[in-house]
Structure 1
Amino acid sequence: MATTGTSTGILPPEHWATQKPAYDKDATDCDSVDESTASLTSSIYKYRTIHGRTYHAERGDAQYWASNDQRQGESLDINHHCCTLALGGKLHMAPLSKDIKNALDVGTGTGIWAIDFADQYTKATVTGTDITPIQPTFVPPNVKFEIEDCNTEWTFACNHFDFVHMRWMIGSIVDWDKLFVRAYAHIKPGGWLETYEMSAIIESDNGTVSDESALGQWGKIFIEGGRKLGVSFEVVQNDLQRKAMKAAGFVDIQVKDIKMPIGGWPKNKDLKEQGLFARAVLEQDPEGYILFMTGTLGWSREQVLTYVARIHKEVRSGKHHAYYRQRVVWGQKPGVSGS
């Protein structure tokens, strides 16, 4: 058991180092917009900076805990490949028609899923939305990106999309029930919603990930930080996807559970490949994932760096048979599509 007095089992920050918090909370204008050609307001490009890493500036409910800079984007792109491997090379599990007309990728991030989907469904118009404009400019002709906060009312027409996809929205959704009610309203009768989420908790089946290890503390940090922010990092554990989808009115709901290894320890060839990519995701930018959350808990820069070094050491050692859980849930809006 962790040697801490908290109910969550999270180790105190001084376990990693002993310096006081020193965060730069000033927002920086990282880009400029030509008002004659862009419909976005300049405030969209105002990011906050934490120890040299940029994050989406908090405006209303629009916030995200991971960095939005290039280093984090590269990690997200690796993760896209990792998630695709976990689905057997597929981009989705919902049984879609080849001639769908409109698809929406909520929380599109770097836009890589939307671009790949558009390449596969060339007759469809694919829209990717996010709160931060980090998507590429040169994309397939059937892809477009828009700035939108999914926690507020959506700006699309009702009964418009054949497919709404969202992935790794954990820690950014204020109310999962409201989110899926909005999705339901904007999906055509007969259309599909798919949600792909992960657990923040890193575990093992053979005891090689202890509560006191850096890997064992990872999920506890996110869960406790999420509570302070008013968002949940226990989406998979609490079955929020399926419950919210059912409450919104979707039918034929199906679930796929995945255990994603971290590292090359699995004997199975496919799982080993997934594990190596999952390790690459984490090693690419552990700081970009953890920095904001540790900031909510009062960690200093030195404490974060010490913890990140421990993460690298444990992941590279090969001694920890670590994995985290993922869950894909998809369901259909009742009725017959008119498309």
Structure 2
Amino acid sequence: MSDRASSPKKSPKSPSSGASEVVLHDAGHWAALAQDEQDEDTDSSLGKDAESSTASMTSSILNYRTIKGRTYHSERGNAEYWASNDAQQNEVMDIIHHFLVLTLDGKLHLAPLKDDIKSVLDVGTGTGIWAIDFADEHPQAEVIGTDISPIQPSWVPPNVKFDWSALFQEAYRSCKPGGWVESFEASPCLESDDDTVKEGSAMSEWGKFFIEGGKRLGRTFTILDDDLQKKGMEDAGFTDIQTRDFKLPIGSWPKDPKLQEIGSFAFAAMDQDLEGFVLYMASVVLGWSQDEVTVYCSQLRRELRSAKYHPYCRLRLVYGRKPE
């Protein structure tokens, strides 16, 4: 997966946490770009759809904030999170789960867990679909999922603050000797190896929302570039640390059938709810208006649906063992 999705040229490096402040084009740029591209080739690169269901619980933490018609987790615990938690975004999360499992050749994890595993904690469980699938495969195990928004069927979330060093230190403390911790993260940047994702395109600016917004929130989105997963595990004391890098195609452009399927689902996840991903960062953190967000997302959808672009994002899975 990590090599076959790439095109001949070397991928441009994503902005890192040490880079200068990123510059985002305004809505006028995207409106003009859309007008320029109206008569160009717009061969479709549409992906497949998937259905899912979600449920919620009744508690005080369900006092979600509403931002321009979309709901977000409450401010309880001051744990800011950038994605919506409503039904539309929850369906997207289940699509993401599906293509990540496809990326791992149908596996839910890569860490070499024992068959008789007893206790599992899924941090950032989302809709709970990974935890539910794992529990189905391991009926003897107690599986607990936690998240900042209680959109799972029955679990009550704690206030989770994602300080990366503290996260892995707490994971180390909570893990039994001989147990494993696995982290799967994505770069927010859309890249290409054949220069189809050019500077100034909507695709090239997607990651900048999260990198710049994260700086203003005091939260990093350059997890892969800064190698925070491996560093955090090493500092916490984990051993036998293994790292796997993947390229996740967005769209059905790869020639490989497996990557076409993965890319189709990745496209579906983005196309279904671009606003749910970017609205908080663009509107609340960076101060964009609803119209500006709409214009940008319209141009990004146009690019995603065009066969001219060959975008992917980088994924990294890291796992390590607590010594016995």
Runs in 1 of length 4+ with deviation above 6 angstroms?
none
| TM-fit CA distance, 1:32 | 8.4
Identity %: 53
Give the match for residue 287 of structure 1.
Answer: 275
Give the match for residue 27 of structure 1.
Answer: none
Alignment TM-score, normalising by the size of structure 1: 0.80
| TM-fit CA distance, 1:132 | 1.0
Q: Which amino acid aligns with 1:234?
A: T
Counterpart CA distance in 2 for 1:150 and 1:48 is 17
Say if 1:313 and 1:115 are closer, same or farther in 2 by CA, change over 3 A: same
Say if 1:16 and 1:301 are closer, same or farther in 2 by CA, change over 3 A: farther
Within the candidate set 264, 282, 299, 1:310 is matched to 299
Counterpart CA distance in 1 for 2:145 and 2:190 is 29
Aligned residue pairs total 281
Say if 1:32 and 1:325 are closer, same or farther in 2 by CA, change over 3 A: closer
Give the match for residue 325 of structure 1.
Answer: 314
Residue 113 in structure 1 maps to residue 130 in structure 2? yes
CA contact (8 A) 2:93 2:269 kept: yes
| TM-fit CA distance, 1:16 | 4.2
Counterpart CA distance in 2 for 1:223 and 1:259 is 19
Alignment TM-score, normalising by the size of structure 2: 0.84
Give the match for residue 167 of structure 1.
Answer: none
Deviation sequence 1:254-298 (CA, Å, 0-9, x none): 001000000010011111111111001101110000000101111
Residue 207 in structure 1 maps to residue 195 in structure 2? yes
Unmatched 5+ stretches in structure 2: 1-19, 33-55
Counterpart CA distance in 2 for 1:124 and 1:204 is 41
Q: Which amino acid aligns with 2:219?
A: V
CA contact (8 A) 2:72 2:84 kept: yes
Deviation sequence 1:131-157 (CA, Å, 0-9, x none): 1111125xxxxxxx2311232xxxxxx
Counterpart CA distance in 2 for 1:219 and 1:248 is 29
Instruction: Quote the RMSD (CA, aligned, Å).
Output: 1.6
Q: Which moved more, 1:8-17 or 1:219-228?
A: 8-17
Q: Which amino acid aligns with 1:89?
A: G
Relative to total residues, which structure has the larger strand share, 1 or 2?
Answer: 1
Give the match for residue 26 of structure 2.
Answer: 12
Residue 297 in structure 1 maps to residue 296 in structure 2? no
Give the match for residue 183 of structure 1.
Answer: 171
Give the match for residue 196 of structure 1.
Answer: 184
Higher relative contact order structure (alpha carbons within 8 Å, sequence separation ≥ 6): 2
Give the match for residue 45 of structure 2.
Answer: none
Q: Which amino acid aligns with 1:128?
A: G
Within the candidate set 96, 105, 113, 1:79 is matched to 96
CA contact (8 A) 1:223 1:232 kept: yes
Counterpart CA distance in 2 for 1:313 and 1:284 is 13
Q: Which amino acid aligns with 1:149?
A: N
Deviation sequence 1:18-45 (CA, Å, 0-9, x none): 9xxxxxxxxxxxx984xxxxxx5x1x01
| TM-fit CA distance, 1:212 | 0.8
Q: Which amino acid aligns with 1:123?
A: Q
CA contact (8 A) 2:84 2:276 kept: yes
Relative to total residues, which structure has the larger helix share, 1 or 2?
Answer: 2
Counterpart CA distance in 1 for 2:194 and 2:226 is 24
Counterpart CA distance in 2 for 1:203 and 1:92 is 25
Counterpart CA distance in 2 for 1:247 and 1:74 is 36
CA contact (8 A) 1:201 1:219 kept: yes
Q: Which amino acid aligns with 2:160?
A: C
